[in-house]
Structure 1
Amino acid sequence: METSTDPKAPAVLERQLLIMELLSQHPEGLVFSKMRESLGLPKATLHRLLSGLLHAGCLETDPPLNEADEGSSARRIYWLGPRIGRLLGAAASPNRLATLSQGILRELAEQFHETAFLSMLRGTKIESIMMMTPPRDWYGYVNPGHLMPPHAAASAKAILAFQPDDLVRQICTEPLPALTPRTLTTVEALRAELEKVRRTGIAWCMEEIDRGLIAVAAPVPLAQVGVILSVSLVGPTDRMKHTDKAAMTQALKTAASRLATLYAGQLSAENS
């Protein structure tokens, strides 16, 4: 394998890492002048480093570079981009996250008497990593380690709705398999569904995987990582259709917020 002999390469990488470390401490973003003040870098050097990180997808900026003139750099805000978020998410321990989720999943299962579970995006696959069943059931409908159909599962849609288009295209390619007569089988229909998930903050699976089962899920947003997790409830149609949907969706959103707080602390500890 060919390696770089440029003595400047380590220095450039070190400075880029310093920029990303600085921005990781400011999820709301920083303007150019604040970064220059914190890092003590020459203006031209910082411009070059930021440009490289933006083109690599490691940073995002507002206004975008192609929509702003040269004189607007002082007003432009920079923050960590989706590529870094995916790297941070990949570094998270599924076992640890599953352990942290047990109490909240148990509360959901006991409140609605249905199976509650947690799913996670790992590379281009979405899989369940933790499940809690209500006291009356001796089995669950989604076991840990189960791969979720990305175009059909509520848990998968809740995650996919917040991924970049290129990743969605990579994960969901036509023809999408029809698992039941209600399964979405075109990318166009799936995109419309994902837009609805982004608008409402809730995803549904209405007998799209198995006839007789309904599932509902909420995304779990993590600062600097984005949405790589979802929390769900699943149960038989004849029970789920009589459940108070407003109460169920609100409980899932509340659980997602609580999980996000727990995971944020865990990710900070693992990446410190």
Structure 2
Amino acid sequence: MAEKDDKYRAPALEKGLDIIELLASHGEGLTQGEVAKSLERSPSEIYRMLSTLVRRGYVIRSLSGDRYALSLKMFSISQRHPPIGRVIEAALPRMRAITRKAWQSCHMGMESNGDVVIVASAESPGNWGLALKTGTVVGLWNTGTGRVLAAFRSDEELEDLIAQHRQAIGEPALNRAEFDAHIQRIRAVGYEKMPSATAIGVTNIAFPIFGPSGHAAAVLSCPYLERVDDLDVPSLEDIVEMYGALARELTEIYGGNPPEFTATI
């Protein structure tokens, strides 16, 4: 495996990336000699790389000309494609593919100014299923999506979220002790599995999609409906595994940083 990795290495590109990553940690900039010393490279090869990065606009020189620092070009490029937008684009075809295997619908929810909003949805391929429409606003404390979004943020941010939240249609009044108990359990096991609080016979399964900060940027949810006919479909336990794997894949796409979980349901 190591030989294969070496075969496809691009040394010049790696040197350029090493310089960018180093400068990202030194906002005040570094001299050519400091860069060379930190990366254990010769001053001449570092000079060539720095000159190229300056020419392309990724690195700028100080007014005195002896220090190099990152420009805002990397930031500008990243803003052309908002990360969560890329996650939704990546998620939709995967969501549609998993519903064909699971025979269960799924949706993705996000928080917007205290509201829990469905931003993407994929329907079950069967004759029936439960799919939430894109744009639907759901409850914060009575849905798997809302609880998971709330669970993976700091205590201060959680208080702000609760203060901003406007109750969705049918959402009951907040029982804070009960809500806090749900939050603590989700933080321990990493996801929510609960009987629906809005419809009989539905089990809500909700997994966080983590962002770089370690908070849940979005939630992938499946409103599981158990079939009792002769169609051979995945079990509830299988569905949990399938959607959990997809949420982890989307977390990787988003560059997320998931926490460690200490328990299992």
TM-score higher than 0.5 = yes
- CA shift at 1:228, angstroms? 1.2
- Give the direction of change, closer, same or farther, for the CA distance of 1:171–1:205 in structure 2 (3 Å limit): farther
The reply to whether residue 199 of structure 1 matches residue 188 of structure 2 is yes
- CA shift at 1:150, angstroms? 0.6
The reply to whether residue 186 of structure 1 matches residue 146 of structure 2 is no
The reply to whether residue 250 of structure 1 matches residue 227 of structure 2 is no
1:218 to 182, 207, 211: 207
Residue pair 2:115, 2:137 contacting (<8 A) in 1 also = yes
The reply to whether residue 92 of structure 1 matches residue 82 of structure 2 is yes
**Secondary structure in structure 2 of the residue aligned to 1:190:** helix
- Give the direction of change, closer, same or farther, for the CA distance of 1:39–1:137 in structure 2 (3 Å limit): farther
- CA shift at 1:102, angstroms? 1.4
The reply to whether residue 227 of structure 1 matches residue 225 of structure 2 is no
**Secondary structure in structure 2 of the residue aligned to 1:170:** helix
Which AA in structure 2 matches 1:108?
A: I
Residue pair 1:133, 1:139 contacting (<8 A) in 2 also = yes
Aligned residues: 184
Structure 2 spans left out of the alignment, 5+ residues: 1-19, 31-77, 257-265
Distance 1:117 1:200 in 2: 21
- Give the direction of change, closer, same or farther, for the CA distance of 1:38–1:216 in structure 2 (3 Å limit): same
Distance 1:161 1:186 in 2: 15
2:197 to 197, 208, 223: 208
- CA shift at 1:186, angstroms? 1.0
Deviations 1:163-192 (A, max 9, x none): 122222233359988948xx7841121111
- CA shift at 1:194, angstroms? 0.9
- Give the direction of change, closer, same or farther, for the CA distance of 1:186–1:178 in structure 2 (3 Å limit): farther
Distance 2:108 2:198 in 1: 17
- CA shift at 1:226, angstroms? 2.7
Distance 2:234 2:220 in 1: 17
Q: Alignment RMSD, CA only?
A: 3.8
Which AA in structure 1 matches 2:253?
A: L
- CA shift at 1:257, angstroms? 1.3
Which AA in structure 2 matches 1:190?
A: F
Which AA in structure 2 matches 1:191?
A: D
- Give the direction of change, closer, same or farther, for the CA distance of 1:234–1:96 in structure 2 (3 Å limit): same
Distance 1:246 1:138 in 2: 21
Distance 2:201 2:192 in 1: 17
Distance 2:197 2:173 in 1: 8
Residue pair 1:202, 1:219 contacting (<8 A) in 2 also = yes
Distance 1:123 1:175 in 2: 9
* Equivalence for 2:116: 126
**Secondary structure in structure 2 of the residue aligned to 1:172:** helix
Structure 1 spans left out of the alignment, 5+ residues: 1-23, 27-33, 41-87, 266-272
Distance 1:235 1:36 in 2: 49
Distance 1:144 1:155 in 2: 14
TM, length-normalised to structure 2: 0.57
Distance 2:226 2:143 in 1: 15
Deviations 1:138-168 (A, max 9, x none): 6743111111201011112122111122222
Residue pair 1:206, 1:213 contacting (<8 A) in 2 also = yes
TM, length-normalised to structure 1: 0.55
Deviations 1:184-231 (A, max 9, x none): 841121111011111111113412123343211100112246311111
Which AA in structure 1 matches 2:248?
A: S
